[in-house]
Amino acid sequence: MLKRSARCLILLSTVLLSSNSFAGWLNIAGKVKAISTYAHTNTIIVALEQQGTAIAGCSDTTSFAISKDLQPEARARMYSMALAAEASDSTITISYGGAANDCVKYDNNVSFRKIVRMIKN
């Protein structure tokens, strides 16, 4: 009986902890309005027709950023998905962090909401 209770407790703890692991993500679905890249940074800025929820620590409330800190392949996949969605006029879902530290600092005055996932709808 004790072994069964211990197993149930471990299973319950695992389920509860894993269900909260992505609880801080916010989602916005929409069509890509603009994509911006600049020579001085590897950060890619993506604007949707909808603005999404503002994040207290991010100064820009109209766009999202594919961070320069991502692995180059991961950044390239997100960039490709955004370009494909823009070219085909289709909808994508962007997931971004909801905490004040989930921002991508772009320069001294601007920080964007950091994209953590993209889904082509």
| pLDDT score for 38 | 86
Residue 105 or 10, more confident: 105
What's the domain count of the chain? 1
Dihedrals φ, ψ of 76, to 5°? -65, -40
Residue 63 CB burial class (10 angstroms; 0-12, 13-18, ≥19): buried
Assigned domain for 77 exists: yes
Assigned domain for 50 exists: yes
Assigned domain for 13 exists: no
pLDDT at 28 over 80: yes
Q: Which residue has the tokens 């709808």?
A: 121
Assigned domain for 33 exists: yes
pLDDT digits (tens, 9 = 90+) for 40-82: 889 999 999 999 999 999 999 999 999 999 999 999 999 999 9
Residues of the chain with pLDDT > 70, as a percent, come to: 81
| pLDDT score for 12 | 46
Residue 2 or 56, more confident: 56
Task: Identify the domain containing residue 108 by its residue range.
Answer: 23-120
Chain centre to alpha carbon of residue 107 = 19
In this structure, what CATH number is given to the domain that contains residue 96?
2.40.50.110
Assigned domain for 28 exists: yes
Residue 20 confidence class, pLDDT cut points 50, 70, 90: very low
Judge whether 38 and 100 are in contact, CB under 8 Å: no
Assigned domain for 89 exists: yes
